[in-house]
Amino acid sequence: DGGITQSPKYLFRKEGQNVTLSCEQNLNHDAMYWYRQDPGQGLRLIYYSQIVNDFQKGDIAEGYSVSREKKESFPLTVTSAQKNPTAFYLCASSRDRGASGTNVLTFGAGSRLTVL
């Protein structure tokens, strides 16, 4: 079945360590996105990529980094500069590229990061 695979599902890290969350899609979608979900705050956009080797900052990009070397993959690194990294992270993709906002998002199952 086509879809988005996020790994790991649960991750524990010590404060000050960088951590990378994996996101792979086999939908042949052009665009990919990372959101952060916190209770009572909904989903907030971290980064998105419309095409390989290109990505744009979302609303809360500080303390995060991404790469898009392959169409299928869009890993997110949570760096030690992120002040409050404990959260649920959702990866999504859309068939259409562009930030016009017409893109219907397909989501992965999410990764829960806890920083101790």
Partner 1 sequence: AQSVSQHNHHVILSEAASLELGCNYSYGGTVNLFWYVQYPGQHLQLLLKYFSGDPLVKGIKGFEAEFIKSKFSFNLRKPSVQWSDTAEYFCAHKLIFGAGTRLAVHP
Tell me if 90 contacts partner 1 by CB under 8 A. yes
In single-letter form, the type of residue at position 60 comes to: I
CB nearer to partner 1: pick between 12 and 98: 98
β-bridge partners, 77:
20, 65
C-beta of 59: minimal distance to partner 1 in Å? 7
CB count in 10 Å sphere of residue 20: 13
Distance CA 30, CA 42 (A): 24
Query: How does DSSP classify residue 104?
Result: P
- As given in the structure block, the two tokens for residue 10 are 């649960």
Per-residue binding string, partner 1, 56-85, x by CB under 8 A, is --xx--------------------------
Distance CA 104, CA 66 (A): 21
Tell me if 109 contacts partner 1 by CB under 8 A. yes
15-44 residues near partner 1, rule: CB under 8 A = 33, 35, 40-44
CB nearer to partner 1: pick between 13 and 30: 30
Q: Applying CB under 8 A, which residues contact partner 1?
A: 33, 35, 40-45, 48, 58-59, 90, 92, 99-105, 107-109
